[in-house]
Structure 1
Amino acid sequence: MNWDDIIIDASASDTGMRRQNNQDSHTAVRAANSEVWRRRGHLFMVADGMGAHAAGELASKMACDLIPHSYMKTKAGAPGEAIAKAFRDVSTQIHVRAAANRDFDGMGTTCSSLLLLPEGALVAHVGDSRVYRIRDHRIDQLSFDHSLVWELVRRNHLTPEQANVSIPKNVITRSLGPAEVEVDLEGPLAVKEGDVYLLCSDGLSGPVTDPEMGAFAGSFHPRDASRYLVHLANLRGGLDNITVVIVRIGPWVDPESGEIDQQDPDAKKGKASNGVPRSWKDRLLERFTGPKPLQPLAPEDEHRYRSADCTIGEELIEKLHQLVEDVRETAVSQAWSVDWHQLSEHRRKLAQGQESGNSWVVLREIGEMVALLGQAGRFHRKQVPI
């Protein structure tokens, strides 16, 4: 990758429909200048805390506050060494904090991070918060779940089908909080323009399938995709806190207008993702030769733990459309406070998209209805708790 490559990111986090407080945390730390970029790159992170009282909330916040600070200030060592050390140092600090206060007994957090570096993408993770990559209509899980289910399958004690039926999915085998912790590193991995990376807590990856995450994140601006996905998880129960961070490599081009999104002025003004103006030489060269290509590593050695097609197909559309219709009926019967005029307008546009065979428009309108109903559902639940 290059210092002046355009990178667009957005995030969303929600307590979900059942929890009173949000134990998830997330952060995005961009390199302040080209020198820091060459040495440490950009850092994106999601953490999912655990523990009674406010322990989990504190643990995840410590991870997202202290790991980037420790990583960025470390001058010696390769990025992989530096980020792993930052993870271990924070795990020790969480352990000390928990030992000093009885209320924080059992405090810990998962933590998954994405580093975008000159040599490619590097994933560091502990726990079951996930890092995905969407490329060419496929979604690949780049991180390994440190959970009892995944560990038993890896050791060939159970098949995936047996494990999913008989083993609780929320039992994790590794977290930040013990005095010592092993940090998994993946990469550096090849980066291509158009790649989309998605980091999330299990509050999203539990109720929302990989193909659904890939279809939304790969097809829409990160800001909209984040919004759609969080509300989709809530409409499916929202049993846990939900957090998602989406990072797109390259500018966003709206499929309908064919122009760069008006809400990304840096992309139109020839600025890099950090807001630094690109040189007149770069812009002049690009005008005649096209955008400067990313220079990824050879991808042969990368490991994808799971992979799925995330094309906007009929089966995916039908499944999501049926969910929207079912929730709409619930909203009518329970008298949710919904902007029915706006919902009707989205249904009209969806029908037009179906008639013209434009699956992108259909999915966009489903996403907007999911967001509209999700907001109404959260408001209704607050007024009439179950």
Structure 2
Amino acid sequence: MSSPPVDLGSASARFLQCVVCQDLLSGQVTQCKNGHNICSSHSLQSLQGKCPTCRIKFSAGSSRNRLAEEMVKQERERQEQQRSTPSILTPSVSAPSIPLNPSPIVPSNSRQTQIRTPNANNRDETISCRYLKDGCDTIILAPTAIRHHEQNCYFRPLTCCLATDGCNHAQIPFFDYIPHLTRLHGVKYLQGSHHLNKYLVKGVEREQRKKFVREGSTSLFILEVSNQIFLCRAKEEGDLVSVWVAFHGHPDQGRGFRVEIQYNPQYEDIFDGEGRFVPRRMNLNYRDQAGSSRQEEDDDDGIYSGSVVHTTRQTWEEIRNLDSYLSMPLDSLAYNLKQEAGRAYATSWAITVTITREQARN
């Protein structure tokens, strides 16, 4: 049985946060020479002998942090006691009391907010979701219902998509996921709606089977567009390479954006009169979202265009079933690989990603 989620909002809990999984420390705690703490579930060997925060070698001086272990124990006990007696906000004099039988209220500025109709047992009780700081603004007028909501809350901790750097698909608080990817895994963070990304293909011998998407941080990058965060990911499976864009937030907000993913064999930013990137036409297979608006002349040219329907919470299996991504055969990529100058047996391929806001419909 998994342990309940831990609130990392307090100052003491933040101090006791593991620098790898961004969760409250557990088990035997190891600290590097500069005082950065690491859970027992992350072996120093898997971290390549270096602190993921300051990159100092553990051999330079690491120790067991018994004080942190005791503080973690006390913090867990405090939060468990607080969880067993949920805080209840009673309307004050300045806040009008809730009518006996009002209709449910759903504010227009937040689709995921839910306020339950009160009854005789919970009339004056309002409880916010524990993941409020992560983006959830749900308010429930029933203490017994809040636990069920939190178990399925969209902003609950999510599994890291990477297994490298000692992380091994750790559970990360939703709000801390992007810092986790950039600080621990070294994922590229870029600003702007347009980016050309290159994927390096390496091989010791020409006869060796090439890996078109390498495991780890180079398989994805982060784009910040209009103050919103998107992850562009690539995955090699079987005889295909698939590329998709996922929104880091609630799905309803992500659908307000469109993404265009284009295979770019020339590595050149060529734009038309309307500012759109123009790639060389290629005969590539692709998968497209059912019902998305595409021009017939774009078929088989290595382009996917449609609404952003994926989120960072979804697994590859869920994304594959939605068919909303660009899919390219390995033989087509292999035929068009570009030789890296001065690097024997090193070649690469590239894509261009453009993310724009959907235009409001009348």
TM range (shorter): under 0.3
Q: When you count helix as a share of all residues, which structure comes out higher?
A: 1
Q: When you count strand as a share of all residues, which structure comes out higher?
A: 2
- Decide which structure has the larger Cα Rg and report it: 2
